[in-house]
Amino acid sequence: MGRLSRFLLRLPLLAGLAVASCATLPSAHAAGSALEESAWAAISPGIEYASFSWGIPRRQVHALRIDLAKVEVQATPPGQDFGQVTGRSLLDFAREFHCEAAINATPFYPESWRRGDSLFLSGVLLLDGTMYAAPARRYVALVFDRDGKASILPQGKLGDTEGLSMAIGGFFELLRGGAIVARKSPRQPMTIVGTREGGELLYAAVIEGRRPASAGASEAEAAQLLLDLGATDGMSFDGGGSSEMVIDAGSGKLHLVNWPAPGFPPIERVLATCLGFRSK
């Protein structure tokens, strides 16, 4: 049994506790990965996972490092109406589309705990060059070009979608060209993504904030985490109770690795747009 599988088997014992065997990442570093290579465990070719304690006060982080040259990216398909999708849990999404890792993405309304509800996106959804939900001008988006390279762009600049294959709306820009541009904000659970120059490497992280041993993060702290991981540009997706990550430990069974809400076992909110990854 691999290191990743052993960790996941212990997940039910970790509610409200810090992960005892995780790596520790210092709270501030210059751009360039500060997480030791030994902390990353391969899920499949091109997809790596790490769980570690970070910052002061300590926060529990779950991170993915995605080599986009080796990985297919999957998003929640559009619903019947413009701007709408059918609500799914993240585990249901990952199972349906055979993802080996997945995170929540675009903010939405209304809040729902019932699978199959119609949810409305607060941001862009562009798939295969076709717009299915309108851009929210005050927010940014994770964008993939037709070569599969990732970047972060203001949604207000997505009027011309030529050359783009996918755009997934999120909240605010955190990091630009290696500089923190985050707003002041309270700490909360967060889902964040970052890219490196060239767009061939994608980082995704969930910062826990629903457990006593993990305080969540402000947007500035989340930006620093992306810098520590090695990103030069970054943004936030939907957070709070929507902030989730699932991975496949290699057993063929998907696991929710964070606690999105208080209680045991962890409770999944129904989500709108999700973002999944599988090896090519």
> Where are the domains positioned within the chain?
3-200+217-234+249-267+275-279
What's the pTM?
0.89
The overall average pLDDT reported for the chain is 88
Core vs surface per residue 154-181: b (16+ CB within 10 A) or e: ebeebeebeebbbbbbbbbbbbbeeebe
**Confidence (pLDDT) at 265:** 74
277/98 Cα distance (integer angstroms): 9
pLDDT digits 0-9 by tens, 71-115: 999 999 999 999 999 999 999 999 999 999 999 999 999 998 899
pLDDT digits 0-9 by tens, 133-191: 999 999 999 999 999 999 999 999 998 888 999 999 999 999 999 999 999 999 999 99
CA angle 111, 116, 117 (to 5 degrees): 35
**Confidence (pLDDT) at 16:** 32
pLDDT digits 0-9 by tens, 199-216: 999 999 999 998 888 999
SS3 45: coil
Residue 106 DSSP code: S
126/273 Cα distance (integer angstroms): 11
216/57 Cα distance (integer angstroms): 9
Q: Are 113 and 269 in contact (CB under 8 A)?
A: yes
Q: Are 264 and 92 in contact (CB under 8 A)?
A: no
